[in-house]
């Protein structure tokens, strides 16, 4: 989308586990924005809930509804109930189909250290204080989608499995542009991560990223790291990074690693974007947390921060995105905490109350 409008249609995908409760809390948290613009929320099925109701993890009706909306807020999907299902009937398969169907080839995962939760990080405060990294992960190519692939048996009866890591030039060009565009709005530095010393596909990746930077983004600084080194540097001195751009499988691993700099799973948003003429999908990084589902214990802040990303990257409302993030910051300053981010002297709140507190804080800023 990225065009500012007076009214938005937003598909809600409440999903499984804690999904429905954090969705409710998120809608409550952003309700004050209805003073400024209209938000029309419409729910649809995906993941386990969709499998139970229709047999498919990504029903056609959901796809049609999403295509007609401005943006998508997704909570979390999956759970032990569906873990044993064949691949076509797994909740995660629905997610992949949705991203592919919507042409969402870029996953943005910020790892911004939360000042109030410095102790939650796995690293020393002096190493993580002030860390603000955006990992841009390619989502629709790489070893996850390359063909041929499979498990076969040799003539001597030994089985072997294989997948192909493939990147086409146009796929690298467009993810590089997303990364450079994001960098222009931040610290103007991109580190491209590959394994060009070993993999041919990575040599192509590097060549293309260099060309795009030279031709189109001379104002953005570009560096390169091998993925093994990048994994180490993220732990050694994470403040060196602004935007990191990488392929699907390296990005999968590095974005999880980067998230541990922040410490709490309940604070991490993400965005899947890339299609200028269709909706993006915004969701917390955490899973459906079946162990605490339905108990009003879940932390809704990751999904609320995902809504901030939606405002910034899909709805053309960057100022409102900043306001929502400030509201979350203020609530943390006031000492409200769900169980997962509980610290000494904090006031315990449940999922629902956390959503209300953010709404109150936001109200004060409008």
Residues that bind ligand ATP (CB under 6 A): 18, 78, 265-266, 286-289, 291-292, 298-299, 302, 340
| Known active-site residue 70 | no
If the CB atoms of residues 266 and 278 are measured against ligand ATP, the closer one turns out to be 266
Footprint of Mg ion on residues 127-186 (CB under 5 A)?
none
If the CB atoms of residues 69 and 75 are measured against ligand ATP, the closer one turns out to be 75
Cα–Cα distance for residue pair 322/63, rounded to 1 Å? 30
**Candidates 132, 181, 252, 296; catalytic one:** 252
Cα–Cα distance for residue pair 161/250, rounded to 1 Å? 20
Pairing of the two strands 71-76 and 7-15: parallel
If the CB atoms of residues 99 and 317 are measured against ligand ATP, the closer one turns out to be 99
| Known active-site residue 252 | yes
The encoded tokens of residue 161 equal 């499995």
Which one of ligand ATP, Mg ion, none interacts with residue 269, CB within 5 to 8 A by kind? none
Cα–Cα distance for residue pair 163/332, rounded to 1 Å? 45
Number of residues that bind Mg ion (CB under 5 A): 1
Least Cβ distance, residue 293 to ligand ATP (angstroms): 9
Cα–Cα distance for residue pair 96/90, rounded to 1 Å? 10
**Candidates 100, 144, 188, 297; catalytic one:** 144
If the CB atoms of residues 167 and 250 are measured against Mg ion, the closer one turns out to be 250
Cα–Cα distance for residue pair 268/326, rounded to 1 Å? 15
Cα–Cα distance for residue pair 142/201, rounded to 1 Å? 9
Least Cβ distance, residue 109 to Mg ion (angstroms): 13
| Known active-site residue 195 | yes
287 binds Mg ion (CB under 5 A): yes
The encoded tokens of residue 83 equal 């873990």
Least Cβ distance, residue 180 to Mg ion (angstroms): 29
Name the burial class of residue 81, with classes exposed (0-12), middle (13-18) and buried (19+) by CB atoms within 10 angstroms of its CB: middle
Q: Could you give the C-alpha distances from 362 to 301, 308, 328, 351, in angstroms and in order?
A: 13, 12, 8, 17
If the CB atoms of residues 106 and 292 are measured against ligand ATP, the closer one turns out to be 292
Instruction: Give the chain's count of helices (H) and strands (E).
Output: 12, 14
Which one of Mg ion, ligand ATP, none interacts with residue 78, CB within 5 to 8 A by kind? ligand ATP
| Known active-site residue 144 | yes
At a CB cut-off of 8 Å and minimum separation 6, what does 17 contact?
76, 78, 79, 287, 288, 289, 290, 293
CB 10 within 8 A of CB 72: yes
**Candidates 207, 219, 228, 291; catalytic one:** 228
290 binds Mg ion (CB under 5 A): no
| Known active-site residue 162 | no
Footprint of Mg ion on residues 69-108 (CB under 5 A)?
none
| Positions that interact with Mg ion (CB under 5 A) | 287
Q: Which residues are catalytic?
A: 144, 195, 228, 252, 256
């Amino acid at each position: 989308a990225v065009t500012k409008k007076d009214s938005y249609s937003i598909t809600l995908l409440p999903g499984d586990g804690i999904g429905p409760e954090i969705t409710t809390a998120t809608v409550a948290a952003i309700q004050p924005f209805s003073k400024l613009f209209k938000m029309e929320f419409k729910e649809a099925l995906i993941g386990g809930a969709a499998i139970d109701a229709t047999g498919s993890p990504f029903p056609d009706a959901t796809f049609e509804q999403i295509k007609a909306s401005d943006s998508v807020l997704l909570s979390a999907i999956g759970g032990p109930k569906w873990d044993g299902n064949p691949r076509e009937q797994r909740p995660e398969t629905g997610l992949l189909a949705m991203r592919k169907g919507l042409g969402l080839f870029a996953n943005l995962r910020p790892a911004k250290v939360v000042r109030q939760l410095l102790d939650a990080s796995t690293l020393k405060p002096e190493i993580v204080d002030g860390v603000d990294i955006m990992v841009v992960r390619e989502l629709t190519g790489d070893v996850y989608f390359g063909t041929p692939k499979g498990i076969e048996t040799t003539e001597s009866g030994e089985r072997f499995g294989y997948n192909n890591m493939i990147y086409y030039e146009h796929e690298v060009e467009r993810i590089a542009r997303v990364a450079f565009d994001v960098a222009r709005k931040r610290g103007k530095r991109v580190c491209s991560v590959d394994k060009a010393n070993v993999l041919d596909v990575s040599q192509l990746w590097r060549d293309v990223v260099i060309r795009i930077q030279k031709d189109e983004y001379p104002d953005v600084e570009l560096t390169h790291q091998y993925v093994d080194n990048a994994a180490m540097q993220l732990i050694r001195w994470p403040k060196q990074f602004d935007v990191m751009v990488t392929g699907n499988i390296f990005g999968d691993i590095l974005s999880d690693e980067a998230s541990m700099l922040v410490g709490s799973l309940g604070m991490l948003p993400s965005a899947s974007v890339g299609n200028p003429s269709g909706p993006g999908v915004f969701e917390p990084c955490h899973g459906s947390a079946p162990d605490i589902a339905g108990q009003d214990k879940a932390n809704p802040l990751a999904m609320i921060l995902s809504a901030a990303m939606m405002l910034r990257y899909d709805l053309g409302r960057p100022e409102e995105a900043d306001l929502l993030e400030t509201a979350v910051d203020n609530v943390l300053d006031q000492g409200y905490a769900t169980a997962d981010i509980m610290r000494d002297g904090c006031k315990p709140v449940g999922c629902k109350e956390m959503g209300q507190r953010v709404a109150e804080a936001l109200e004060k800023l409008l």
